[in-house]
Amino acid sequence: MFSKTCKYGIKATLFIAQKSQFDERVSLKEIAAAIDSPVAFTAKILQLLAKEHIINSIKGPKGGFEIDKVQLPKITIKQVVRAIDGNSLFIGCALGLNECNEKEPCPMHDNFVSIRDQLNETLASSNLLDVAVDLNLGLTVLKR
């Protein structure tokens, strides 16, 4: 459902959010290790996220990546997905047709619309703070 880049982007953002709760900045290498992603690939993802103002990139010897604590409850997983994969998951056709609507539906349209709406709601209502808290409590994991 999500692209590979988006999956790693979500994981990276959540790891940064988890550490940001305690005012910790994390390095590129720490993030890559935490999400089992190659460093160069992770760097490209982090650039995208910083450009979209999801995360902050701080340069210098005490630099790294962080998310302002006051932003954690305001940033949703949907925003992360949109920053990386765009809006197609929320408005696109299940089969990738250019035109798909109620008047000219694809074979999957009726079933997919309800799934897409539910996914949209789930991602829009999941903020970084709530997910980071669950990670810190050990209720969820980013890798096995």
Looking at the DSSP bridge assignments, the partners of residue 66 are 56
Beta strand spans in the chain (E) = 56-58, 64-66
Average pLDDT of 25-38? 96
How many structural domains is the chain composed of? 1
When pLDDT is cut at 50, 70 and 90, the band that residue 144 belongs to is confident
**Kind and range of the H or E element at 78?**
helix 77-85
Beta strand spans in 15-133 (E) = 56-58, 64-66
> Tokens in use for 91?
């408005």
139 vs 130: CA distance, rounded Å: 11
* Domain-located, residue 141: no
HSE (side-chain half, CA atoms, 13 Å) at 53 = 3
For residue 113, the domain's CATH number is 1.10.10.10
* Domain-located, residue 142: no
* Domain-located, residue 115: yes
* Domain-located, residue 143: no
* Domain-located, residue 47: yes
* Domain-located, residue 100: yes
* Residue 24 reports pLDDT greater than 80: yes
55 vs 76: CA distance, rounded Å: 12
Rounded to the nearest 10 degrees, the angle between the axes of helix 4-20 and helix 77-85 is 140
Mean pLDDT of the chain: 93
At 56-101, the pLDDT tens digits run 999 988 899 999 999 999 999 999 999 999 988 888 888 888 888 8
Report pTM. Answer: 0.90
At 132-142, the pLDDT tens digits run 999 989 999 98
Domain span at residue 74 reads 4-136
Average pLDDT of 15-37? 96
